[in-house]
């Protein structure tokens, strides 16, 4: 069951993101944050926000199955990212904490995942400093987190 749910989460992430991007042709990986698609100013923002809320709900289910409490808190924060558009004050801290807590959970799991989390976080910070848009660093972080979740689902 754990394997199947982790696979569902990854498939939901990929297909959902592709669908949301297809509905926002103005979106650019090098000029935007993913959350720009969920902006209160975007008439189709609700699509991105519901997608993120759904991803967070699946993430909570996965974290419960994997018995990863810090990851569960991270997924609750992901839901808050979807509830609060980027213009709302809770959005940015929720997004940042979601990544940080996910990486901390990875680091607490094993030395290998600690190295992966540290390298991923460092790459994200470097890319953000280049000001090429947040979407690429966000996706790199998401890929690491989803890889970790898949690993846990297949490991146990």
Residue 156 has pLDDT above 70, yes or no: no
- Considering the entire predicted model, what is its pTM? 0.95
Token pair for 133: 């848009």
Token pair for 131: 């000001």
Mean pLDDT, residues 51-80 taken together: 97
What confidence score (pLDDT) does residue 2 get? Answer: 87
Give the DSSP per-residue string, 124-149.
HHHHHHTTS-SHHHHHHHHHHHHHHH
Averaged pLDDT score across all residues of the chain = 96
In 3D space, the residue among 95, 96, 70, 68 whose CA is nearest the CA of residue 80 turns out to be 95
Domain count, the chain: 1
Indicate the pLDDT class of residue 117, thresholds 50, 70 and 90.
Answer: very high
| Domain, as residue range, for 65 | 2-155
Mean pLDDT, residues 63-72 taken together: 96
């Amino acid at each position: 069951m754990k394997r199947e749910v982790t696979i569902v989460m990854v498939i939901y992430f990929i297909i959902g993101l592709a669908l949301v991007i297809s509905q926002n042709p103005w979106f650019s990986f090098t000029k935007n944050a993913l959350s720009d698609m969920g902006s209160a100013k975007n008439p189709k923002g609700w699509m991105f926000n519901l997608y993120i809320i759904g991803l967070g709900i699946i993430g909570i289910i996965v974290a419960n199955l994997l018995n990863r409490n810090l990851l569960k808190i991270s997924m609750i924060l992901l839901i808050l990212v979807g509830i609060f558009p980027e213009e709302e004050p809770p959005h940015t801290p929720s997004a940042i904490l979601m990544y940080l807590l996910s990486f901390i959970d990875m680091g607490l799991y094993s030395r290998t995942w600690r190295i992966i989390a540290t390298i991923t976080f460092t790459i994200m910070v470097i890319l953000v400093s280049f000001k090429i848009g947040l979407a690429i660093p966000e996706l790199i972080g998401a890929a690491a987190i989803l890889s970790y979740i898949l690993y846990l689902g297949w490991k146990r």
